Structure 1
Amino acid sequence: MTTLASLPRTVPVAAPPARFRDLLAAEWIKIRSLRSTPWTVALTVLFVIGSAAVATLSDHAGGSGPADFLPFDAYPPAGYWTLMLVASSMGALTAVSEYSSGLIRTTTAAVPARGSVVLAKAAVTAALWTAVGTVASTGSFLVSQAILNGRHADVAITHLGVLRALAASALVAPVCSTVGLGLGVLIRHAAATTLTSVFVLLMLPTMFSESNRWSADVKHALVSAAWKRLAQNWEPDPGSLGYTATVPGSWIVYALWPLVTLALAVFAVRRRDV
């Protein structure tokens, strides 16, 4: 009669927690794997740059110098409102798509640190749309100036206000995409998040004017109004009866909106079951 030798007991080893750079790599793979991402980015950049070319060409016959063209032609509102809309929508879909497909359960099971997941999504989304915004903003400036060069009305990039307008127009994309991401985590519904983003970023500023102090303060606290101040209103009319936003205040608006929405999103995911 033989006896079986006792086998050594194996103790399961817990998997090490995911590093933040691993989360960044995972989020980048998710965004890159979407077939709509490159097409959306390419079409958005072409539309923004094309709108600058159209605006410059339409005003090419009039005007007498760089001051008549650059603020409004290189960075036309139609092109950059579209950029804000697309960036916020794509940022929202980065989060909402996981909730709608149920993938968020797999993500939270693999990475219990839900706040880190949200921050990784925000970092990758902001990096992508910073690159997109930079290409669109630089392209808008170069195209408009190439057109204006025909009437010797072009300006150098070192001209007063150019760098500020270029930076503001480039950074408005990551600001809006991060805001959209934060709203997507909070709302978790694609249509509702998109409508909220459009209302907050594009429609709400039109409901307030600069004629009254309280109304001007509300308007100046919104992203699109801050972009307009930084990119277009280089030298506000000192004789205007309205209240004009300050340049430092507009940069603060750029910083606070993504920070506040991300803070709320991180707080929300830590309180939810899924």
Structure 2
Amino acid sequence: MSTTTADAGAAVRGAASRVDSQPVSLGRAVKSEWIKWRSLRSTWAVLGAAVIGMLAIGLVIGFNTRHLTGNQDANDLASSAPLQGFFLGQLLIGALGVLFVSSEFSTGMIRSTFAAVPKRQPVLWAKLAVFSVITAVVMTVATVATFLISQAVISQSRPGFSLADPGVWRYVLGTSLYMVLAGVVGGMIAWMVRSTPGSLVSFFALIFVVPQLFGLFGSAGKHIAQFFPSQAGEAFTVAQPEAPHLSPGVGLLVLCAWAVAAIAAASVTLRRRDA
């Protein structure tokens, strides 16, 4: 009996010695977040809705502007016109950024995540990397496809635009970049608010409500409103943004500053608050 016990103990110690202990690293955290992403149906559903929305709105604009009339808006005839679906896309990608973070807080899974990654910061960077790469690739493909399909519809009735025309690549890639950065801001809001409804309300207020409120206060308010994410994004994604507006380069810098500030605030919040 004692021999059997000794043999069993030796076997357990041998098995334990063969366990490959793997320390926490950013690469492993990214792999973990990728597994979470692909296992959630909601992430693919929201991302798919953003793609379908871009394509559908682009097709509608192409169909409605294939014949020139005297009462068409200038922006509906510009080279950036087929990409106006970003008005819907920014909401969906922003909501996706929120859900990718806040869903863990709502289910309590964040406690297990922080137990596996005690330093916490790698979790933020891993989620940011997975979200940014996936949405950038998918939405870039979506914007290029939307532009090409819409122009194919238009070219059946009148001359349209091509990717080689001046400014077109700025609108196409800029639209994708804007939606990704809007989603990053949404995700960082979720790190700070930690509630899905609260995060969504905060994101929508930042994108739509607050700039509109500033616009009610005359020219001074409108000049302030152009520094909010949505209007800064329009500066480099729309051929003829509403006045007053920033230059494309300044608009991009302002939007990047919003994203960096949101990341910094989320990082500080993550270090100071418990799960």
Taking structure 2 as the reference length, the TM-score comes to: 0.85
Match of 1:173?
179
Q: Specify the alignment match of 2:254 in structure 1.
A: 253
Q: Out of 46, 54, 57, which is 2:52 matched to?
A: 46
* 1:260 CA displacement: 0.9
Pick from 196, 202, 208: which aligns with 1:196? 202
1:49·1:136 contact (CA, 8 Å) conserved in 2?
yes
Contact 1:210 1:243 in 2 (8 A): no
Displacement of 1:157 in angstroms is 0.8
Structure 1 residues 104, 211: CA separation in 2 closer, same or farther (over 3 Å shift)? closer
Equivalent positions of 1:114-153 (< 5 A) are 114-153=120-159
Match of 2:41 in 1: 35
1:56: how far off?
2.0
Match of 1:70 in 2: 78
Q: Deviations over 1:174-227 (max 9, x none)?
A: 111111110001001110101111111123333344995532332221221122
Contact kept, 8 Å, 1:223 with 1:253, in 2: the verdict is yes
CA shift digits 1:124-148 (9 cap, x unpaired): 1111111222022112211221012
Structural mapping, 1:203-242, within 5 Å? 203-209=209-215, 214-234=220-240, 242=243
RMSD: 2.9
Shift of 1:48: 1.1
Closer, same or farther: CA 168–21 of 1 in aligned 2, 3 Å: same
Over the matched positions of the two proteins, sequence identity in percent amounts to 25
TM-score by length of 1: 0.85
Q: Structure 1 200/80 Cα, relative in aligned 2: closer, same or farther at 3 Å? A: same
Query: What are structure 1's unaligned runs of at least 5 residues?
Result: none
Q: Name 2:3's counterpart in structure 1.
A: none
Deviation at 1:246, TM superposition (A): 1.3
What SS class does the counterpart of residue 124 from structure 1 fall into? Answer: helix
Q: Render the CA deviation track for 1:55-78: whole Å, top value 9, x for unaligned.
A: 1211222259x98623453122xx
Q: Which secondary structure state, in structure 1, belongs to the residue aligned with residue 156 of structure 2?
A: helix
Alignment match of 2:66 (pick from 45, 51, 60): 60
Read off the aligned partner of 2:126 and give its amino acid letter.
Answer: A
Cα deviation, 1:24-49, whole Å, max 9, x if unaligned, reads: 11001001000222232223211211
Alpha-carbon contact 1:114-1:266 (below 8 Å) kept: no
Cα distance in 1 between the residues matched to 2:245 and 2:108: 46
- Which runs of no fewer than 5 residues in structure 2 stay unpaired? 1-5
Contact 2:154–2:160 (8 Å) recurs in 1 = yes
